[in-house]
Structure 1
């Protein structure tokens, strides 16, 4: 079905998303911080990035901007998620392809990911 890279610092949320998307047939790669993300993201075939905004060592917004500026990753959908930010606040910050507010509805996040990966 596709590969999802999850960047989420909260272990319980990251683990829930890993199980959820594995059950849906996706391959999941995950990281809890930007440093680890940058080490792991080299040469990975990813179909969607799911990025938390607030991370212990930086911002998912910066990662989104980096991904969208890179010609190798610019066409890969980026789904942002946060308990603090609102979608309107993100419009001028990065060129994300979608936004999920925490706490999220499981059916909504599955449908959003499926829709974004299906557009590729």
Structure 2
């Protein structure tokens, strides 16, 4: 069975690239463009990994990270934060995530980080 990865990313080009890369690696990928759509899916299926953009149209990915890590039902799900703003990497709230990916990202480094978090 393929491992599921949920991607919360509002930029269509980035979400399409991530989807392509992850599907090529054999993962089952679900993409969400806003927090509300991810929240609806959360009740149906928990992913093996959650990739979250920090800046979203309906909120902040750091808040989602904190919410998932404070909930016993989701705290075990590894989270990768993504942002073009390197400063977020050092934000105290970013410590809730298992990893941080700077945009633009190196494809090989991104895939290695995903594999490390899932395996």
- 1:73-113 per-residue CA deviation (whole Å, 9 max, x = no partner) reads 10110000000143112xx1141100000000000000000
Q: How far has the Cα of 1:43 moved from its partner?
A: 2.5
- 1:37-78 per-residue CA deviation (whole Å, 9 max, x = no partner) reads 111221213100000000011000010011001101101100
How many residues align? The count is 116
* Residue correspondence of structure 1 range 1-120 to structure 2 within 5 A: 1-86=2-87, 87-89=89-91, 92-94=92-94, 95-118=96-119
Unaligned segments of structure 1, at least 5 residues: none
Task: Classify the secondary structure of the residue corresponding to 1:71.
Answer: coil
Task: Output the CA distance in 2 between the equivalents of 1:106 and 1:11.
Answer: 17
Task: Classify the secondary structure of the residue corresponding to 1:93.
Answer: helix
TM-score normalized by the length of structure 1 = 0.92
The answer as to whether partners of 2:46 and 2:74 remain within 8 angstroms in 1 is no
TM-score normalized by the length of structure 2 = 0.93
Change (3 A) 1:57 1:85: farther
Task: Classify the secondary structure of the residue corresponding to 1:108.
Answer: helix
Compare the two structures and name the one with the higher helix fraction.
2
Task: Output the CA distance in 1 between the equivalents of 2:27 and 2:81.
Answer: 18
Task: Classify the secondary structure of the residue corresponding to 1:51.
Answer: strand
